[in-house]
């Protein structure tokens, strides 16, 4: 029997806090938008820490950073996430997964544990998509889903290309990531309230749900709110509201179906004028592609119904459409069992947000581990995961990696 290798909890927590000083905001939280000077400072510190742990660092042309601890073979078990943040982000989204990967390395170093296969800790470029679109760009390029030329041509809202910024901060590398990935584990905060609400310590992530974004433009007829009888109106605002409430009711009992109307604007937006036009967005998500397709069909049917009932015309535009990504069932089972072996409570859930793991899943068996977010908050300076949860997640990550490297 080997003695169980444990993470060093104090070191993990201290490493996370100290990394949070890079790009720290005055009132708390962090700003490390992709490829800004703050992102560079974060990258420099990450590379420094990787080298201090004895990792061989390689940076690929899109700026993904790979730190590898050599095993007997070059086949590698990879873990990682990202260190870029939204404009007013927290200390944990992405960064936690990368630093937990380094703690795994440190714990193995402490234990003088030599592994059969190599272990790679990765930090992917521009995961958030706050500055350059699409999000998860670095892992998408690494997985072969986007050319390096296309990625470098992407512009931020000021018109600056990603390529120019990558060159400027010195992270357009000439290296490359691992060629044979045995499996990929990503540890991440949940960014939602489910684990906390259900008192689950370790979230076993079964996949990333599918997303369907639609912009709807409802056109009616502007009219005087005082002189136009209800029967003579073609009220674009009321029709749009009925569309949203009606579709929400229809989809209420569809398993795991999410529906959000996040943006809703009426024109001319005056108290005494019946709206002439309404522009709104609908965000539909489901882990099951069949159910997501069915939700889209419900939307189409509701549009027809509303057009008939209200006399409006409705144009639609697809803003985004991603199929669900299921994770590897063996890795899912393994994470669940390892978490339970540690005595942690577990629950399976599907990720609501996108993650680098869904891109790496194109190359290798992949899975994710979630830990609870206090109040479900993320993309917010008040983002918080409690120390015990941070440690539990990292221990499961260590155990999962160890289960794959021999």
Q: Which is nearer to its own copies, 121 or 234 (CB)?
A: 234
CA distance 254 to 364: 31
337: helix, coil or strand? Answer: helix
Q: Which is nearer to its own copies, 61 or 275 (CB)?
A: 275
Q: Which is nearer to its own copies, 28 or 193 (CB)?
A: 193
Q: Which is nearer to its own copies, 154 or 351 (CB)?
A: 351
Minimum CB distance to its own copies, residue 171 (Å): 28
Q: Which is nearer to its own copies, 161 or 281 (CB)?
A: 281
**Residues making up the chain, counted from first to last:** 406
Say if residue 193 is exposed, middle or buried (CB neighbours under 10 Å; 0-12, 13-18, 19+).
middle
Minimum CB distance to its own copies, residue 283 (Å): 5
Minimum CB distance to its own copies, residue 192 (Å): 3
**Joined tokens for residue 394:** 């990292």
Minimum CB distance to its own copies, residue 43 (Å): 26
CA distance 395 to 389: 10
Reduced DSSP (H G I as helix, E B as strand, rest coil) percent helix, strand, coil of the chain, to 5: 35, 25, 40
**Joined tokens for residue 158:** 């000021």
> Cα angle vertex 394, ends 393, 396, to 5°?
65
Minimum CB distance to its own copies, residue 356 (Å): 15
Minimum CB distance to its own copies, residue 362 (Å): 20
Minimum CB distance to its own copies, residue 260 (Å): 4
CB contact at 8 A, 302 and 216 = no
Minimum CB distance to its own copies, residue 45 (Å): 28
Q: Which is nearer to its own copies, 114 or 225 (CB)?
A: 225
Q: Which is nearer to its own copies, 46 or 236 (CB)?
A: 236
CB contact at 8 A, 138 and 63 = yes
**Which string of DSSP letters, residue by residue, matches 151-212?**
HHH-B-TTS-BHHHHHHHTT---S----S-EEEEEEEEE--SSHHHHTT-SEEEEEEE-EEE
Lookup result for tokens 């068996």: 365
Residues that bind its own copies (CB under 8 A): 190-194, 197, 209, 211, 213, 223-230, 232, 235, 237-238, 241-242, 244-245, 248, 252, 257-266, 269-275, 281, 283, 285, 319, 351-354, 376, 378-379
CA distance 367 to 21: 29
Minimum CB distance to its own copies, residue 388 (Å): 21
| CA distances from residue 23 to 43, 95, 103 in whole angstroms, order as listed | 12, 13, 22
Q: Which is nearer to its own copies, 45 or 296 (CB)?
A: 296
Phi, psi torsion values for 265, nearest 5 degrees:
-130, 135
* Residues facing residue 202 across a β-bridge: 346
Minimum CB distance to its own copies, residue 35 (Å): 22
Residue 109's CB: how many other CB atoms inside 10 A? Answer: 13
Lookup result for tokens 């502007």: 222
Q: Which is nearer to its own copies, 162 or 208 (CB)?
A: 208
Residue 159's CB: how many other CB atoms inside 10 A? Answer: 6
**Joined tokens for residue 75:** 């086949």
Q: Which is nearer to its own copies, 259 or 364 (CB)?
A: 259
């Amino acid at each position: 029997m080997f003695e169980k290798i444990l993470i060093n909890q104090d070191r993990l927590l201290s490493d996370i806090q100290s990394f949070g000083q890079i790009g720290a905001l005055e009132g708390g939280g962090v700003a490390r938008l992709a490829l800004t000077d703050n992102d560079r400072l974060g990258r420099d510190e990450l590379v420094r820490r990787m080298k201090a742990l004895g990792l061989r660092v390689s940076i690929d042309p899109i700026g993904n950073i790979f730190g590898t601890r050599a095993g007997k073979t070059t086949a590698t078990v990879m873990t990682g996430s990202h260190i870029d943040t939204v404009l007013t982000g927290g200390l944990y989204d992405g960064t936690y997964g990368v630093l937990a990967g380094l703690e795994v390395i440190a714990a193995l170093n402490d234990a003088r544990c030599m592994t059969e296969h190599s272990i790679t800790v990765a930090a992917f470029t521009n995961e958030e998509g706050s500055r350059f679109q699409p999000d998860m760009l670095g892992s998408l390029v690494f997985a072969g889903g986007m050319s390096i030329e296309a990625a470098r041509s992407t512009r931020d809202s000021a018109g600056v290309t990603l390529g120019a910024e990558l060159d400027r901060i010195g992270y357009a590398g000439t290296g490359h990531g691992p060629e044979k990935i045995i499996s990929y584990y990503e540890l991440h905060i949940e960014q939602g309230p489910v684990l906390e609400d259900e008192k689950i310590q370790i979230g076993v992530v079964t996949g990333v749900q599918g997303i369907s974004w639609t912009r709807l433009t409802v056109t009616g007829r502007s009219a005087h709110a005082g002189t136009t009888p209800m029967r003579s109106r073609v009220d674009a605002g009321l029709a749009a509201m009925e569309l949203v409430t009606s579709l929400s009711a229809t989809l209420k009992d569809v398993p795991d179906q999410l529906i959000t109307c996040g943006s809703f604007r009426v024109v001319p937006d005056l108290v005494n004028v019946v709206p002439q036009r309404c522009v709104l967005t609908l965000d539909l998500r489901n882990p099951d592609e069949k159910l997501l397709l069915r939700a889209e069909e419900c939307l189409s049917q509701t549009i027809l119904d509303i057009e008939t009932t209200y006399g409006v015309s409705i144009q639609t535009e697809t803003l985004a459409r991603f199929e669900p990504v299921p994770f590897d069932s063996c890795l899912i089972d393994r994470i669940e069992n390892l978490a339970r072996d540690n005595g942690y409570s577990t629950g399976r859930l599907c990720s609501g947000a996108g993650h680098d793991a869904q891109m790496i899943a194109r190359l290798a068996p992949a899975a994710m581990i979630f830990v609870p977010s206090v109040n479900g908050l993320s993309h917010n300076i008040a983002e918080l995961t409690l120390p015990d949860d941070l440690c539990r997640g990292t221990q499961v990550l260590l155990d999962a990696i160890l289960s794959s490297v021999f």
